[in-house]
Structure 1
Amino acid sequence: MSGSKILASAHYVPRDIVTNDDLADIIDTSDEWIQVHTGIKTRHISLQGENTSDLATSAAELALHQANIKAEDIDLIIVTTFTPDGLAPSTAALVQRNLQAKKAWAYDIMTACAGFVFGLSTADKFIKSGQYKNALVIASEVNSKMMDFKDRTSTVFFGDGAGAIVMTATDEGIVKAEKMHTIGNADVVHSGRIEPLKELSVDNYPKIDAFSQQGRSVFNEVTTSIPQHIREFLEEQGLTTGSIDYYIPHQANLRLIEYIANDLGEPIEKFSTNVTKNGNTSSAGIAIGLDELRKSVDLNGKKVLLTGFGAGFTYGSVLLEF
């Protein structure tokens, strides 16, 4: 076998829908402000006790059902998440347990909102090694549990959700090219930081900080780096922006996606978007977008570019050809 293909995809979101007006009831904002600045209308929030591993398990079960294969046939489970159940065990290990995927080894990838791109790329390499046949790649986020609801500039963006794909070995692979980058920056976006001790005391207890971002800096970083990254990547493959049939970018907010489309000179109709109804679901946004695209159009013979970008600053693209 020389590559991997996607057997099936699925996504899952919590049942509770939170509107902009719902947020305006508890924080100083409005539906008009949120829509003008982000394009977001609603988001799904986990209010029924579902954690990241639960959303991931539900998405994985749906994908396995669609692929018509059993959990025990899976060799590898990768979960990409910015909001794990905890530091240990990995969220992937909990999903492996939930699915009873007894043959699979499992681990997490944490590259924030770029996670699904990194996870798909990694699973493709394991399959290409010839040692593994079937892999689950799941992007799952419960962003709501990490929010400071007094911070309206961050809270209004985010929602919860998960997307999953089943990948399997094949003669001709779907992954045609990729390019990843990391620029270490701990200040622009951060979440879950734990400070080291300053003294020994019986009162010491781990304290974790809420999600925080410098919105203007994030916007400037993305608009400066991402269109250039996409152009350079495609040029290296002998392609133009017009060669791509569909783009699935990170669902940061609709205004950023519109900016990227305009900068690339490509119609917004070529961009898969779910941010208006789901909010920013971090690494899950691209996975959900891929599932929705696969089920809405015939992708046979089409080129699809996945581009993720997030805290780190970490970003990258994977070119798929179906």
Structure 2
Amino acid sequence: MYIHAVSHYLPTEVVGNEYFTQLNGLSSEWIIERTGIVERRKAAPGENTNTMTVDVVQRLMDKTDLTTVDLIVGATYTPYDTIVSLAHEAQHHLGIADIPVVSISTACSSFINAIEVVEGYFALNKASRALVIVSEHNTVYNNEQDKVSGHLWGDGAAALLITKERQSEGDFNIVALLTGGAAHTAKATTAVMMKPMEGGVTMPFGRDVFINACQYMPKASLQILERCGLTLADVDYILPHQANLRISRNVMNTLSLPEEKLISNIQRYGNTGCAGCAIALSERWDTFKKGERIVITVFGGGYSYGAMLVEV
């Protein structure tokens, strides 16, 4: 599989840490020390996961032809409409008839799971050109006054055209990917939750999320490299789920890799859920060099995880 093109969309409103200092007394220094976040993006009134989908798909259309897409996979845990999914919205915008349209959610690891769905369709010869969209509207479900997690969240979206065969020399090769679930662990189903009818996002066991994210993202990274017959010496960059800068640094430390190989955007955007890694990949797309290898590794609520090896 190949990533032929990628785009991203970010709302224009920037919310700095001083907002939370005024709201609930959390200092900017305290937030930065514990999360790395300096500012985040917030969707405007009238924006949601579906509207951001249209915006990011339009940006992808400016880069490449989407008229021959034969599969659309959308991913989010913050849906605007639980019937008309963001994948349906994308199909409606493109006006492409009679193709599979799928929407999934495995929390913050949904990006890798969405691509795994594409892999399955490709393997069964049911599709060859897939549009993948990841879009999160965290702030609509967030309780900003919650001192535990209210300052963590940001909004954004990304879209990718993934093809079965190489389309150009600039394509990125998806060498391999894997996903898994660790919901068998004691606090997996209660550590971080998003219940719209019961107060939105809550994180009663944030420490447990931290510990497991620091365990499973390095584990998945090593597993995907072993599967490909490679070692950490063959890796140019690690792109972990953008949940917490301390988690990302812990992942790098566990893998004994220098921070220069870490790709991170949480400082500017906050936790943008399953869209975070895709946004970072889109931002850095033109800076990667031929032959470079990037390990994208994710961990999400419900304790889903995954990793993907991409080669330029």
Q: Does residue 27 of structure 1 match 2:24?
A: yes
**Cα pair 2:191 2:208 within 8 Å, conserved:** yes
Q: Aligned to 2:218, what secondary structure does the other structure show?
A: helix
Alignment-derived partner of residue 209 in structure 2: 218
**Contact 1:6–1:166 (CA under 8 A) maintained in structure 2:** yes
User: Which residue pairs with 2:260 in the alignment?
Assistant: 269
Conserved? CA contact 1:11–1:162, under 8 Å = yes
Cα 1:171/1:138, change in 2 over 3 Å: closer
Deviation at 1:208? 4.4
Residues of 2 paired with 1:99 and 1:143: CA distance?
25
- Paired with 1:121 and 1:110, the residues of 2 have a C-alpha distance of 12
1:164 and 1:134 map into 2 onto residues whose CA distance is 13
Q: Please, what is the CA RMSD of the aligned residues?
A: 1.8
**Residue of structure 2 in register with 1:188 after alignment:** 191
Name 1:198's counterpart in structure 2: none
TM-superposed CA distance for 1:128, in Å, is 3.6
Counterpart residue identity of residue 65, structure 1: D
Which of 263, 284, 294 is 1:293 aligned to? 284
1:306 aligns with 2:301: no
Measure, in 1, the Cα distance between the counterparts of 2:255 and 2:155.
29
1:12 CA drift (Å): 0.3
Residue range with higher mean Cα deviation, 33-42 or 81-90: 81-90
**CA offsets per residue over residues 195-251 of structure 1, 9 Å max, x none?**
xxxxxxxxxxxx344111121111111123322332233233322112111211100
Aligned partner letter, 2:220: H
The 8 Å contact of residues 124 and 175 in structure 1, kept in 2 or not, is answered as no
Aligned match of 2:238: 247
Question: What are the within-5 Å matches in structure 2 for residues 131-210 of structure 1?
Answer: 131-170=126-165, 174-184=173-183, 185-192=188-195, 207-210=197-200
Query: One-letter code of the match for 2:22?
Result: D
Alignment of 1:35-184 (within 5 A): 35-67=32-64, 69-70=65-66, 72-170=67-165, 174-184=173-183
Conserved in 1, the CA contact under 8 Å of 2:78 and 2:137? yes
Q: Tell me how far apart the structure 2 counterparts of residues 247 and 224 of structure 1 sit (CA, whole Å).
A: 15
SS in structure 1 of the partner of residue 200 of structure 2: coil
Counterparts of 1:228 and 1:167, CA distance in 2 = 26
Deviations 1:9-32 (A, max 9, x none): 110010101000022222231111
User: Retained in 2: the 8 A contact 1:81–1:109?
Assistant: yes
> Is the CA contact (8 Å cut-off) linking 2:217 and 2:298 kept in structure 1?
no
Is the Cα contact below 8 Å between 2:53 and 2:89 reproduced in 1?
no
The 2-side partners of 1:164 and 1:110 are apart by 16
Alignment partner of 2:11 out of 14, 18, 24: 14
Q: Kindly state the Cα deviation for residue 320 of structure 1 after the two structures are TM-superposed.
A: 1.7
- Give, in angstroms, the shift of residue 181 of structure 1: 1.0
**Contact in 1 for aligned 2:112/2:177 (Cα 8 Å):** no
Aligned length: 303
CA contact (8 A) 1:56 1:138 kept: yes
Change (3 A) 1:130 1:171: farther
CA distance in structure 2 between the partners assigned to 1:53 and 1:87 by the alignment: 11
Q: Does the residue aligned with 1:317 lie in a helix, a strand or coil?
A: strand
Q: What percent of counterpart residues are identical?
A: 31
| 1:168/1:36 CA distance change after superposition, 3 Å | same
Structure 2: how far apart are the matches of 1:104 and 1:57?
18
- TM-score normalised by the chain length of structure 1: 0.89
Deviation at 1:127, TM superposition (A): 2.7
Letter in 1 for 2:61: L
Distance in 2 separating the partners of 1:75 and 1:289: 26
In structure 1, the partner of 2:311 is 321
Shift of 1:42: 0.7
SS at match of 2:108: helix
CA distance in 2 between partners of 1:25 and 1:136 (Å): 41
- Secondary structure of the 1:140 match is strand
| Aligned mates of 2:216, 2:128 — CA distance in 1 | 36
After TM superposition, what 4+ stretches of structure 1 lie above 6 angstroms from structure 2? Answer: none
**Any stretches of 5+ residues in structure 1 without a counterpart?**
194-206
CA apart distance, 1:103: 4.4
State the TM-score, normalizing by the size of structure 2: 0.91
